[in-house]
Amino acid sequence: MKATIKTFPCNEGDCIFMKLEDTDAHTSYHIMVDCGGLTSDIVDYIVNTFNERIDLLVATHIDSDHIDGITAMLFDSRLKDLQIDKIIYNCYQNVSNGARMATPTDIVEKMDMISNIVGDDSDTHISIKTSVSLGVAIAKNDHLKNVWNKEPITEDTEPLNLGDKWGVIKFLAPTQSALDDLYSTFRKEYASVTGCRIPESPYEDWECMIELLVKLDSLRNRRFYGKKISSLLLDEGGFLDARKAETNDSSLTTANKASIAFVWECNGHRVLFLGDARCPIVAKNIQRLYGEEKQVFDAVKIAHHGSKFNTNTDFSEKVDAHTYFLTGGSETIGHDMECLSKLLFRMEHDKFHRQLRYNVETHTIQELKSDQIKELRDKYNFEIVSDINTPAYEFEY
């Protein structure tokens, strides 16, 4: 059995594929997690490697840099034969089988106004309003609606069995309170924007309104990330100071705190997918599942593009991996040295080798792989690798 993990750059966002393969039987299971923007490389991978079949599609949370590319994928003519067998995506109100009233005219006007503020996927030749709504794309397609998980996912959701050869998914986040906060945000935004209480019967574009309002709230409340600890840190003391920096996750948006995090597990092998989740919650649930001792994973997708607001010292003391994936991010979003130093700069006598695979190059990455700190990379036993210019990450299980 072989597992392959491949990531793709898509603006600031995430796009991750995991292929599980029985090479003897020539069968495989395909997992896709998030997509912030649909590129030609992503389409080619879905067509040529996944053979236009996604067995499990996970959208970790309502954020443009995680779902807009998925929405575009569902409308793309190049993927007209795409088959999706199961969808996991937390929306305020999941699939409603009851009759819906027509969208009130004044609500349509407000949705159009919000759509222009939130923006659209420039690579998609569909309306702005539709392009920002994954929920509408699912709810208006009979097949997708039927394979959409009906119940919201939380840390208490029962594990999802993928099959004897393909393993199990165990959910680590969000908490129910984080989902409740997200829904509360939606209700408040709805009343503020429309001047009305939420109707008892949802209307036709209900899911679109949900996503628009949550994204609007995220834009309005997007915190200033503050000065980055990055440039001119080419000495050991600077990196270690960054490692000691405390994490304040109060700066995360409501949508980020409601992000799904999960572990894939099979035959003693495990991969941790963190979305934009709060790492203290994830660490707590890892201990609940596996015990108090430090847990080592085959690979970890770092939370929130390496944001300093997600990864704390407690998490780095309880979780480790030979391979870390740093997906997406930019010069202003994520790639924070406070996060990366906690994962890479462990005890100098630690012989555990770590690899950081990135797919967006920033000044932080350039610094970490520069010749000036080669001695530190050797001392702390880590390497920096482009996930674009090297073969996909593989392991047997």
- pLDDT tens across 264-318, in order? 999 999 999 999 999 999 999 999 999 999 999 999 999 999 999 999 999 999 9
The whole-angstrom distance between residue 266's C-alpha and the CA centroid of its chain comes to 21
- Positive or negative, the Cα torsion across 154, 45, 326, 381? positive
Q: Kindly report the average pLDDT of the chain as a whole number.
A: 89
Kindly give the pairing relationship between strand 2-7 and strand 15-22.
Answer: antiparallel
User: What does the pLDDT read at residue 195?
Assistant: 87
Higher per-residue confidence, 7 vs 237: 7
Does residue 51 sit in helix, strand or coil?
coil
pTM of the model: 0.92
Q: Could you tell me if 79 and 47 are in contact, meaning their C-beta atoms sit under 8 angstroms apart?
A: yes
Peptide bond connecting 9 to the previous residue in cis, omega within 30 degrees of 0? no
Residue 167 CA to residue 156 CA, distance in Å, equals 19
C-alpha angle 254-340-153 in degrees, rounded to nearest 5 = 35
Does the structure show a pLDDT above 80 at 74? Answer: yes
Sheet bearing 167-173, strands edge to edge: 160-163, 167-173, 261-266, 269-273, 295-301, 319-326, 354-358, 382-386
What is the amino acid identity at position 387? Answer: D
Does the structure show a pLDDT above 80 at 99? Answer: no
Q: What is the mean pLDDT of residues 212-233?
A: 65
The whole-angstrom distance between residue 383's C-alpha and the CA centroid of its chain comes to 23
Residue where the block lists tokens 């203290």:
280
The radius of gyration of the chain's CA atoms, rounded to the nearest angstrom, is 21
C-alpha angle 327-331-333 in degrees, rounded to nearest 5 = 60
pLDDT band for position 229 (cuts 50, 70, 90)? low
Q: Could you tell me if 261 and 279 are in contact, meaning their C-beta atoms sit under 8 angstroms apart?
A: no
Q: Which helix (H) or strand (E) holds 109?
A: helix 105-118
Q: What is the mean pLDDT of residues 324-334?
A: 94
User: What does the pLDDT read at residue 93?
Assistant: 54
Considering 105-114, 220-229, 301-310, the range whose residues carry the highest mean pLDDT is 301-310
Q: What is the mean pLDDT of residues 106-132?
A: 63
Report the 10 Å Cβ neighbour count for 162.
19
Counted residue by residue, the chain has a size of 397
Please report, for residues 188, 338, 370, the alpha-carbon distance to residue 227 in angstroms, rounded to integers and kept in the order given.
Answer: 32, 11, 22
Kindly give the pairing relationship between strand 160-163 and strand 167-173.
Answer: antiparallel
Q: What whole-number percentage of the chain has pLDDT above 90?
A: 64
Report the 10 Å Cβ neighbour count for 46.
23
User: What does the pLDDT read at residue 306?
Assistant: 96
Does the structure show a pLDDT above 90 at 321? Answer: yes
User: What does the pLDDT read at residue 233?
Assistant: 61
The whole-angstrom distance between residue 6's C-alpha and the CA centroid of its chain comes to 14
Residue 263 CA to residue 283 CA, distance in Å, equals 12
User: What does the pLDDT read at residue 96?
Assistant: 54
Least confident stretch, 8-12, 76-80, 133-137, 342-346: 133-137
C-alpha angle 115-128-98 in degrees, rounded to nearest 5 = 80
Tokens of 242: 């960054």
User: What does the pLDDT read at residue 126?
Assistant: 40
Does the structure show a pLDDT above 70 at 131? Answer: no
What is the amino acid identity at position 71? Answer: T
Beta bridge partners, 393, equal: 5
Q: What whole-number percentage of the chain has pLDDT above 70?
A: 91
For 176-217, what is each residue's pLDDT tens digit?
999 999 988 888 888 988 888 888 777 888 888 888 888 888
User: What does the pLDDT read at residue 227?
Assistant: 56
The whole-angstrom distance between residue 342's C-alpha and the CA centroid of its chain comes to 20
Tokens of 359: 């797919």
Q: What is the mean pLDDT of residues 333-344?
A: 94
Does residue 12 sit in helix, strand or coil?
strand
C-alpha angle 14-20-25 in degrees, rounded to nearest 5 = 155
